C-alpha cells in the first residue's frame, strides 16, 4: 500500500491517546527516508510536556528481526555511558499500524549521510564514530546493566548462539538449498575462535545512519535490532568490511579501530568474523525477498535487496572462504 501520511497521523494519534490516557493530536509527522527494516516516523504532538517521538514500525519480518529485543536493550542502556534514545512503548498488537512497533523519544542530532559529500568532514566524523565504538566496547556487560539480558559465559558460547540464530533465519527464509552458504556454515562451525577477550555489547550494524551527530558529538547510537552480547571482533569486522566501506577501504578503517580497541585486531579471528558477517548479511537480505513474495511488503527495494544484495554477500563470503583455505 502506498505511504499515506494522513492515515499514519491518525494511527499515531489513536495510539498516543490510548497510551497517554487522554486525547492527543499529531500536529506534525515526518517519515525518515533511510532504513530498510523499519518504517520510521518522527511525530510531534499537541502535548506541551511531550517531546517529539520516533515510531519504529516493523515491516513484516524484513531483515529477520523483531522489536522486542531492541526495546529491552534500550531500557537497560538508557541513562548509562552508551548513549541511546529513551524507550517509551513497545506495542506488539498490530491494530495500530498493521505491525508491531516501538516508540522512543527523539534525540537531537543528524542521522543523515550528507557529510559523505565532504571528504574532510567525513574523516573527522569517521574518527569520532570509531572513538565511540571503542568506548562502547570498553565497558563490561555488567557495567552497562545488561545482566538481565543473559550474558554468555564466554565468546565461544556467544559465537555459537549467533551462528544458531542466523542459521535459523537462513533456514526460514531461503527458497532453495544454497550450497555456497551451506559450506560457509560448516566452515564457521568448525572454526569457532577460542575465547580470548571478555564478552562485550555488539551493536551489530555499525554504520553511517545508525548514529546521531550534533555539534561534533555522538548523541545516540540507534537501530540496535542486530545487537548481541558477544565477541567485539564481530562489530570490528562488520564495520570494516561491510558498512564502513562508504567511508573507504577496510585497511585504513581497521588501523583506526586498532587505535581505540583494547584487543589485537587481525589474523584468523578477523577473517573468521569477516566471513561470518558476509553470511549474516546474506541471510538478512534473503529475508526481504520472502517478505515481498508473501505480500507482507511490496516495496521494490525488497526485491533488489533480496536478490542482488543476497547474491553479492554470498559471493563475498565464498571468496573470503576460498582465500582462508588457500
pLDDT digits (tens, 9 = 90+) for 12-55: 999 999 999 999 999 999 998 645 678 899 999 999 999 999 99
Q: Which residues pair with 43 in a beta bridge?
A: 29, 53
Backbone φ, ψ for residue 110 (5° rounding): -105, 125
Planar angle of CA 254, 154, 200, nearest 5 degrees: 45
Query: Rounded distance, CA 112 to CA 30, Å?
Result: 14
pLDDT for residue 317? 97
| pLDDT digits (tens), the chain, 326 positions | 445 778 899 999 999 999 999 999 999 999 986 456 788 999 999 999 999 999 999 987 666 688 999 999 999 999 999 999 999 999 999 999 999 999 999 999 999 899 999 999 999 999 999 999 999 999 999 999 999 999 999 999 999 999 999 999 999 888 888 999 999 999 999 999 999 999 999 999 999 999 999 999 999 999 999 999 999 999 999 999 999 999 999 999 999 999 999 999 999 999 999 999 999 999 988 888 887 888 777 777 778 888 899 999 999 999 999 998 87
pLDDT for residue 303? 83
pTM attached to this predicted model: 0.94
pLDDT for residue 33? 62
Query: Rounded distance, CA 43 to CA 27, Å?
Result: 8
pLDDT for residue 1? 47
For CATH 3.90.1200.10, list the domain ranges present in the chain.
114-325
Q: 130-147 pLDDT, tens per residue?
A: 999 999 999 999 999 999
For CATH 3.30.200.20, list the domain ranges present in the chain.
5-105
Domain 114-325 has CATH 3.40.50.300: no
CATH class of 5-105: alpha beta
Planar angle of CA 73, 75, 77, nearest 5 degrees: 70
Amino acid at each position: 500500500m502506498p505511504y499515506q501520511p494522513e492515515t499514519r497521523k491518525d494511527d499515531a494519534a489513536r495510539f498516543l491517546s490510548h497510551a497517554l490516557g487522554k486525547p492527543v493530536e499529531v500536529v506534525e509527522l515526518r517519515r525518515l527516508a533511510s532504513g530498510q527494516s523499519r518504517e520510521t516516523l518522527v511525530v510531534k504532538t499537541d502535548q506541551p510536556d511531550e517531546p517529539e517521538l520516533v515510531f519504529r514500525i516493523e515491516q513484516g519480518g524484513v531483515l529477520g528481526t523483531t522489536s522486542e529485543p531492541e526495546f529491552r536493550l534500550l531500557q537497560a542502556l538508557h541513562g548509562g555511558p552508551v548513549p541511546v534514545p529513551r524507550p517509551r512503548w513497545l506495542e506488539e498488537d498490530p491494530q495500530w499500524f498493521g505491525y508491531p512497533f516501538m516508540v522512543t523519544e527523539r534525540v537531537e542530532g543528524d542521522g543523515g549521510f550528507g557529510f559523505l559529500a565532504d571528504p574532510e568532514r567525513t574523516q573527522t566524523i569517521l574518527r569520532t564514530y570509531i572513538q565511540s565504538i571503542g568506548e562502547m566496547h570498553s565497558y563490561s556487560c555488567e557495567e552497562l546493566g545488561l545482566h538481565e539480558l543473559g550474558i554468555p559465559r564466554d565468546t565461544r558460547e556467544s559465537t555459537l548462539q549467533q551462528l544458531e540464530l542466523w542459521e535459523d533465519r537462513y533456514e526460514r527464509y531461503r527458497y532453495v538449498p544454497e550450497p555456497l552458504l551451506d559450506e560457509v556454515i560448516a566452515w564457521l562451525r568448525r572454526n569457532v575462535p577460542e575465547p580470548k577477550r571478555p564478552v562485550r555489547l555488539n551493536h551489530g550494524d555499525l554504520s553511517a545512519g545508525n548514529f546521531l551527530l550534533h555539534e561534533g558529538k555522538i548523541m545516540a547510537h540507534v537501530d540496535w535490532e542486530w545487537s548481541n552480547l558477544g565477541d567485539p571482533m564481530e562489530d570490528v569486522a562488520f564495520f570494516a568490511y561491510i558498512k564502513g566501506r562508504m567511508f573507504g577501504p577496510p585497511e585504513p578503517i581497521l588501523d583506526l579501530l586498532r587505535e581505540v580497541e583494547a584487543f589485537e585486531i587481525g589474523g584468523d579471528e578477523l577473517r573468521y568474523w569477516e566471513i561470518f558477517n558476509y553470511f549474516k548479511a546474506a541471510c538478512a537480505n534473503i529475508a526481504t525477498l520472502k517478505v515481498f513474495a508473501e505480500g507482507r511488503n511490496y516495496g521494490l527495494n525488497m526485491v533488489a535487496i533480496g536478490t542482488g544484495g543476497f547474491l553479492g554477500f554470498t559471493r563475498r563470503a565464498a571468496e573470503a572462504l576460498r582465500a582462508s583455505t588457500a
